[in-house]
Structure 1
Amino acid sequence: MNSLIESMRTRQSVRTYETQKLSEHDLAQINAYITEEQNLVGPFGGKGKIDFVLIKNNVTDKGIKLGTYGFIKNPQGYLVGSAKNEKYALVEYAYIFHRAILYAVQLGLGTCWMGGTFNRNSFEKEIVLGEDEFIPCVTPLGYPKGKQRVFDRALRMVVKADNKKPWDQLFYNGTFEKPLPKEIAGGLEVPIEMVRLGPSASNKQPWRLLLSEDQKSCHFYIEHTPNYSSGLGYDMQLLDMGIAMCQFELACMELGIAGKWLIEDPQLAFISGNTEYIVSWKMA
């Protein structure tokens, strides 16, 4: 497989797929991945759950058409997971789910994070939900169509998918009063850059990272967009934080940078009242 860092750099959301069915090899690889327990363990020690739903002629084996409001064309399957509607459960779920998405990308499959543009009721008929669980998000799977629809290109322009915020708006050095320049990020420059390049709902990029003065810890915060996703009944931007953690840690692993996740709020002054501490990465 290709480098994970390279997969993070090149991955884009795919909404239009070839009509070609998933190969037996890729089906086997996906099913093996989501049944391997170590792939479903999150950064806080919790265990996630991901189901694979195969699609034939736009319906499932149960004859259910999974609704995506016209956003997805010719999907050949979906990864569907469930979690409790709790802060760290959602962060951890997104970490596990994004790791699975990156695995699918390495197989050559197209993916697309979907949190608010799918019919949850139709997907709930396909999986078994635990007590107090719901489906935060799904991703279609399939082979990317060479030429994306005009609709797809227009949507990327609307959400400014190709316009990522610069470092000085996202990353900080010791305090939120000092932006973090790339040249002083040391060995964490690439993992931090992978956070910047990660997908997020409406490309809001709510993550804010603060590198400690001794460069031994990197603190992760969320800058909430007021009232974002309030109509869905859960904080979708918490999923973005799980994605950021996944991108960061996988890049560290590939580069041989050892560390671990800790919930140890450094009690620093926030950027604004919308800022909330999430987690810290402490280098070994």
Structure 2
Amino acid sequence: MNFTLSAIETMRRRQSIRTYEQQSLSEADVKQISNYISKEEHLIGPFGGRGRMDFILLHRNVTDKGMKLGTYGFIKNPQAYLVGAAKNEKYALVEYAFIFHRLILFMTQLGLGTCWMGGTFSRNSFEKEIQLRDLEFIPCVTPLGYPKDKQRVFDKALRFVVRADNKKPWDRLFFDASFAVPLVKENVDGLETPIEMVRLGPSASNKQPWRLVLSTDRQVCHFYIEHTPNYSSKLGYKMQLLDMGIAMCQFDLACRELEIEGCWMVEDPVLDLKNENTEYIASWKMSK
């Protein structure tokens, strides 16, 4: 995807917006969004899987089908929603989130506010708006709109509750060759910024479940998830797999901007795991 602005700076400044101006999306923005999701290359994930996205415009919080989409009071004055569908499978969810987050960053560059929503919306109301295929469901949605200059007290309180502005330090997230040795920023051979972008990425309830292990030769970065026990179990899918897609997207876009070439693969290095909740997801390998 060609970013008109720095992807790294966009990732640094993106934050969840829950309160929007009552202004409708401009025709120019609607056209850019529609063009983006119509292009095949924007809907391909790191392993070649294809995502499916729908763009739903609202008028006074009602769709053109007369449907009011439910978000349990978390969102005020949304002007549109981006919705996607995927199968409830491990890598389908990871790829879906990778594609969806790349789209969210594109929206951020347009000056639009977004907010990842995985559990605080009525799936039933959204499912009536899009045509689900066999075995598909809606993992998450995002509202769209122009951010209100003064955020509601509720917004600020929610950011405080989930500690949205508090990110774990490197020594709790990133490791050197094994989970026994924390990774030091000064010893990553040019990958400091991509790894830092992983640290700054959004995650459900700000749990930050990603764990990275950088190989001894600095050529491979292994991505693991440290599951929060029973998290999202009532929803029927592993929501934190979406967080891994987000982390991979942040890392990938930073590498591309810095012209660090590499590719994604699934080749478990079979390391001694951090604990019983830790699971291997994927690896990024630098091109020679």
Q: Normalization by structure 1: what TM-score?
A: 1.00
Distance 2:29 2:188 in 1: 38
Instruction: Give the one of 264, 278, 283 matched to 2:281.
Output: 278
1:142 aligns with 2:150: no
Give the counterpart letter for 1:146 in structure 2. D
SS at match of 1:177: coil
Listed as ranges, the matches of 1:73-92 within 5 Å are 73-92=76-95
Residue 187 of structure 1: how far off its partner (Å) = 1.1
Count of aligned residue pairs for this structure pair: 284
Please name the residue that 1:59 is paired with. 62
Residue 73 of structure 1: how far off its partner (Å) = 0.2
Please name the residue that 1:265 is paired with. 268
Please name the residue that 1:231 is paired with. 234
Listed as ranges, the matches of 1:183-262 within 5 Å are 183-262=186-265
1:126 aligns with 2:111: no
Q: Which runs of 4+ in 1 moved over 6 A?
A: none
Residue 33 of structure 1: how far off its partner (Å) = 0.3
Please name the residue that 1:181 is paired with. 184
Residue 186 of structure 1: how far off its partner (Å) = 1.9
Distance 1:16 1:2 in 2: 24
SS at match of 2:285: strand
Please name the residue that 1:111 is paired with. 114
Distance 1:235 1:87 in 2: 8
Distance 1:168 1:186 in 2: 17
Distance 1:95 1:219 in 2: 16
Residue 184 of structure 1: how far off its partner (Å) = 0.7
Considering only aligned residues, what root-mean-square deviation do their CA atoms show, in Å? Answer: 0.4
Residue 2 of structure 1: how far off its partner (Å) = 1.8
Residue 162 of structure 1: how far off its partner (Å) = 0.2
Q: Deviations over 1:2-40 (max 9, x none)?
A: 201000001000000000110000000000000000000
Q: Deviations over 1:37-91 (max 9, x none)?
A: 0000011111110000001101100000000000000000000000000000000
Distance 2:159 2:188 in 1: 30
Question: Structure 1 stretches of 5 or more lacking a match?
Answer: none
Distance 2:252 2:98 in 1: 10
Q: Percent identity?
A: 73
Instruction: Give the one of 150, 166, 169 matched to 1:166.
Output: 169
Distance 1:47 1:237 in 2: 20
